[in-house]
Amino acid sequence: MPKKPSQVPAEPLPLKGAICFEEGDFHALSDALAGDAEGNARRLIARRKLLAIGKDACKRAAEHGHKLECRTSLHNPNQFNGMRVRRIWAYVTRSKAEKKRLKGVLGAELGKDLDAAFKNAYLCFAIEAEALEVSLRIHSDAWYDGQNLKNRVERGALRAWLEELNRLDGFFLRMDDWKGEWRCGALTIEALEEFLSYYTPGEHRLAVERRWPAPAGARGGALEPEAVREMSAQFERLLPLHAFTGWSLENNFLFGG
């Protein structure tokens, strides 16, 4: 079970100064080190980098009227990650005030775990052993945001969703761990109808993601400052889709909607 808010470990301090990824950030997430506590120090550095990127992204989002907050995942082997750290990410989610409003709609029982980042539709910066990623994700446990999206689309906004997704060339719409993918920028109404025929909030995870391969021995681009700037730029492209997707007072399609 997710930890209660009072038990959630404190966030580390974001890394200061110019941010760029280094070889060690990727290597500490490799199969050889993912379960080794000796990699914790290096993974903490990567986590602090992602937190700095995420907090800067929140500031940029606020300039466009999006109130968001950032939290990062654990960098040490733990029961919650199966004692192996293969991925570290910064979650960017709705603000505490928005979580409170959503809890008021859901009720105390359904809304009690909203503080957990994955219980909300969230934007994501992530690093893995051989990739970088920027994405919008809806976990199966964030069924209310998934249902809000599905209700909105099924109540006449299918073409509007298509337009939002097709602005995001370079991204892919994905469902759970299915091998199929829907390429943004080239989607059709029929493709989205097919997706919706399978997608069930509460059962399936949904993602709109862009990934940059960074295999060992060929990480040159991922180690340049431009990689972080590109990730931040792609994050900003996702902001309208995040607003379109998740529940808010202005985007209320969850129940009577």
**pLDDT tens digit sequence for 116-156:** 888 899 999 999 999 999 999 999 999 999 999 999 999 99
> Residue ranges per domain, the chain?
21-245
Q: What letter would DSSP give residue 248? A: B
The answer on pLDDT for 161 being more than 80 is yes
Picking from 13, 18, 73, the residue whose alpha carbon sits closest to that of residue 225 is 18
Residue type, 29: L
Query: How high is the pLDDT of residue 93?
Result: 94
Integer-rounded Cα radius of gyration of the chain: 18
Q: What letter would DSSP give residue 3? A: P
Query: How high is the pLDDT of residue 114?
Result: 74
Q: Is the pTM of this model over 0.85?
A: yes
The answer on pLDDT for 242 being more than 80 is yes
Q: Which residues pair with 217 in a beta bridge?
A: none
Classified as helix, coil or strand, 48 is helix
To the question of domain 21-245 being in CATH 3.30.930.20, the answer is yes
Q: Nearest 10 degrees: CA dihedral of 238, 4, 102, 196?
A: 50
Per the CB < 8 A criterion, the answer to whether 11 and 71 are in contact is yes
**pLDDT tens digit sequence for 1-32:** 344 444 556 899 999 999 999 999 999 999 99
Residue type, 79: Q
